[in-house]
Structure formats: structure tokens, C-alpha cells
Chains A and B, each alone.
Chain A
């Protein structure tokens, strides 16, 4: 233990969660939320992914350096570092793949308004645009070109029926309350409300859960 450790221990702010740990918490929460939500959520703000990406890159470089070292002590540290690296990469990969699955399914929907487009990252926007262009070209080549021109659109909204497939925002989700708050949910026979306590697990519709999630009073589980 050196002087820094002693100083840190008497420092009341020491127990504030360090940056790295908070990034892991944010990433985990984003992953769980993306895996559970019926629609695509906002790409995390504040450069979370850029930071994690840089950290992973740096850690890989460190592993490459350490592999040359045959000392048994660093050898074990290397195993630990690589195990953690794999866990992080799994989280990132699973998160991105969950998002791609949603974009694939409803590409046209997420490209349709500016609000929805802003949820995608730059890369995802490029991917979705390209995906949709390829799909459209393919449809055009295989059958759309033989239709009369007024019927060739893929985003027709004539007659109050939209052709753009959208995710079901009313599907049910599980949420955990992070603080005591009033929870309101719309039901088939009646609308309900309850005074939720911290760490309650509640089933309700996603459209009712979203305001609570956005306000930070609840999280998806």
C-alpha cells in the first residue's frame, strides 16, 4: 500500500463508482434493455461506445504485448485479462446484433421519420439505407417492375393503411422500478395504477413503460 492508496481511502469521493465500472454498468443496462424492448432504442449518448471500443482496442494491444512474456505471474494475469476481454466483446457483439435484428425487420420504419432516424448510429443509418436500397432493387428486378407504376411503392400510405411494417409498441415487457413511483398501465377491461416500490418487478405494456424508463425510474429486465 503506498501513499496514494492511503489518501484514496480517506477520500470520501473514493466510493463513487469509477468511470470504467460505470461504463460496464451502462453497457450492461443498454444490452438488457435492447434485448427486451420491442422497438429499437436510442443509441447510447455520451460517447459510451466509442470509449468502450477504444478500451477494447487498447486491451487487445496489451494482450499482444504480454503474450511475448513467459513469466508465470503475468501468464495468469493474461488469462484473466483475456477472459474479461471476451466477456466485454460478447456484450458489445450481442448488443449490436440485437439492434441489427430490429433494423433488418423494420428498416423502412426506422428510416421513415427524423425522430426514428436519430435513434440509429451513423453506421447503422448507413447500413439501414443500404439494406433498404438492396431490398428495393431486388424486389424491382424480380416482380415490382411488372406492376403498374402507381403500385410500385413500398411505402404507400393510401387509404389510411400504411405499408410500412412497424414494431408492436403495445406488447408486454417486464420492468424493475429503480425508485418509488406511481406506475400506470392501460388494460383491456380497465386502466390500472399502483404505488410502485423500489425493486418491484412489474408486467405492463411497453408504451406505458417507456415514460418510466426514459425518466430513469425503471429499467427493463
Chain B
């Protein structure tokens, strides 16, 4: 009865999460609004575009009731731009995540709003895979959404699926190399913090066990050294507090 999985989302669970991402569909037939547990779906009237969660969009696509508009970042020019940035401009860090959604809604120019001021939205509930998403940025669930769209909506792509697939494979390899090299930084995980800005959900799920294992291992090995250091700091007064706070990987 109890869940036998280790802590941290497994790949299948990440894929499940990615299916909640909103995508834009172009309906091919009318469909009335359906009252779902997560709220009512928009009324689908061809040829008006509508945002739908990926799982529903894929269902409609399979039944040939709608076409899916691929997100702008999945366009070959955007992908090559990202590959260029990952390999040439900044060969050590992941490319930046998409900027937070603009405060002004496109349908209401001038009316600034924040989607629910009390709840900070995060993927998969940000509209980072719809047709309005910015090009040139990989959202958190990029790999899963791209794979799902290529597998089930290959004919809706702006370019031949083979070309997109090739670019994606390059991107996966470039970023996997970065993930591997980030583990060498783990060796000196003495600073207590490491930032992986721009990493994707699937990449995280793949190396989660290894990365967390290394960090926990380093901590256990160094536990007594850490205890001694803490004791010394406590004895030696509060001088350590004035240390520069921008030095995040201090060894």
C-alpha cells in the first residue's frame, strides 16, 4: 500500500506532470465546454485557438478533432539559437529559463495583472509551452513536451519532425555533458549550495539519485570535520559572519 519509490520524482512521474503544461490547439470541430475537476474547458470553435492542458490536447489530436500549435521555442531557428548559446556563449551553464510571464495580458493591453497574486505559479502551470511563449528559452518541461509533441503531433511541426528531433538530440547531449561536469563541482560541495539554473525536469530526474547520493555521501564523510569546524567557529567568536555573501562556492 505504501509507495515503494525512493524520494524524488521518478521519470514517469515527471512525464505525468509535464502533461499538465498548457499548449495551444486549433480545433477542427466544435466542442462544447466540459466541466472538469480542474475547471471548465474553453468552448472550442474552429478556427479559434484555445489553450488546453497537454493531455487533453493529445487526446483531441489522436481523435483528429484538433491540431496542436507547437510552442515557438520548438522552432528549428529557436533551437539552433539555444544550441549556439549553450555551446558558444556560455559553455558551462545551462541556458536561462524563460522570463516570468508578462504582467499585462495580451487580451487586455494596459491592464497589468499577476495571475493570482497570492499564489506564486510555477511549472507546469505557467503558460510556457503555448503559442505565446517566448522563443529562445527552454521551459522546465522542455524535453517531455517536445517528445510528446513529436511523437503524437509530428505533422503539426513547423519543420520536418526529423530536423527538430536532430536538434533536440544535440541539445540533450550538450546539456547532459553539462550535467555530468556539474558533478565535478559536487566534489567540492563544501559550500552547502549549488545552483543549477535553467536545468530541465527530466534532466533532474535522471541524475537526481546520483547527485543527491554524492552530496549526502560528502556530508557523511565530512560530518566530524564539520562538527569540529562549527565548534571552533563558536569558540572563535562571530568573525565568520562578516564573510562576503556573494561567494557561494567558498571552499
Binding site for B on A (CB under 8 A): 9, 12, 15-18, 20-26, 28-29, 32, 35-38, 52, 55-56, 59, 73, 76-77, 79-81, 83-85, 87-88, 90, 94, 97-98, 100-101, 104, 168, 170-174, 176, 178-179, 182-205, 208, 216, 219, 221
Report Cα–Cα, A88/B189, bound state, in Å: 39
A83 touches B193 (CB 8 A): no
> Chain A interface: which of B69-77, B84-92, B108-116?
B108-116
Any chain A CB within 8 A of the CB of B163?
A: no
B197 near A200 with CB under 8 A, answer yes
> Which stretch from B153-161, B167-175, B212-220 is at the chain A interface?
B212-220
B80-107, CB < 8 A from A: 97, 100, 105, 107
Q: Which residues of B contact A59 (CB under 8 A)?
A: 37
Contact of A204 among B17, B125, B193, B249 (CB under 8 A): B193
Given known pairs A84-B38, A201-B199, the reply for A190 and B190 (CB within 8 Å) is yes
Beyond the given A189-B251, A190-B192, please list 4 additional residue pairs across the A-B interface where CB-CB is below 8 A: A38-B7, A174-B8, A185-B192, A201-B204
Q: Which of chain A's residues has its CB closest to B245's CB? A: A193
Which listed residue, B39, B97, B193, B218, touches A199 by the CB 8 Å rule? B97
Q: Return the 10 tightest CB-CB contacts between A and B, nearest first.
A: A189-B190, A187-B192, A185-B192, A188-B222, A192-B191, A194-B248, A101-B2, A97-B3, A185-B193, A172-B215
Q: Which of A37, A97, A190, A196 contacts B195 (CB 8 A)?
A: A196
Nearest-Cβ distance from residue A190 to partner chain B, whole angstroms: 5
Of B65, B119, B216, B221, which is in contact with the most chain A CB atoms at under 10 Å from its CB?
B119
Q: Find the B residue at minimum CB distance from A16.
A: B116
Q: Known: A192-B191, A202-B193. Contact between A24 and B38, CB under 8 A?
A: yes
A160 to B199, CA, bound (A): 43
B56 CB–A CB distance under 8 Å? yes
CB <8 Å contact, B1 and A100: yes
Tell whether B162 is near chain A: CB-to-CB under 8 Å: no
Any chain A CB within 8 A of the CB of B196?
A: yes
Count how many pairs of residues, one from A and one from B, have CB atoms less than 8 Å apart in the complex: 211
Q: Are A21 and B120 in contact (CB under 8 A)?
A: no
Are B7 and A186 within 8 A (Cβ)? no
Q: Do residues B245 and A90 form an inter-chain contact, with CB atoms below 8 A?
A: no
Within 8 A of A (CB), among B56-71: 56, 59, 63, 65
Contact residue among B7, B34, B39, B97 (Cβ-Cβ distance under 8 Å from A20):
B39
On whether the beta carbons of B246 and A195 are closer than 8 Å, the reply is yes
Across the interface, do A178 and B122 meet the contact criterion of CB distance under 8 Å?
yes
In the bound assembly, the distance between CA atoms of A84 and B120 in angstroms comes to 24
A-B contact pairs, 30 of them (CB 8 A): A9-B107, A12-B111, A15-B105, A16-B115, A18-B39, A20-B38, A21-B38, A28-B17, A36-B9, A76-B63, A81-B35, A84-B56, A97-B2, A100-B1, A101-B4, A172-B211, A172-B219, A174-B204, A184-B193, A185-B193, A186-B192, A187-B191, A188-B221, A188-B226, A190-B191, A191-B192, A194-B195, A194-B246, A199-B122, A199-B140
Q: How far in angstroms is the closest Cβ of chain B from A124?
A: 12
Which residues of the other chain, A, contact B4 by a CB distance below 8 angstroms?
Answer: 101
Set of chain B residues within 8 Å of A171, measured between Cβ atoms? 212, 216
**Does A24 lie within 8 Å of B196, measured CB to CB?**
no
Which single residue of chain B is at the shortest CB-CB distance from A21?
B39
Shortest beta-carbon distance, A84 to chain B, in Å?
5
CA A178 – CA B38 in complex, angstroms?
A: 23
The answer on a CB contact under 8 Å between A195 and B196 is no
In chain B, positions 116-175 with a C-beta closer than 8 Å to chain A are: 116, 119-122, 124-125, 140
- Bitwise, B238-250 to A at CB < 8 A (1) or not (0) is 0010000111111
- Chain B residues contacting A173 (CB-CB under 8 Å) are 212
A80 / chain B contacts, CB cutoff of 8 Å: 34, 36, 41, 56, 59
What is the bound-complex CA distance between A15 and B222, given in angstroms? 51
B198 CB to closest chain A CB (Å) equals 8
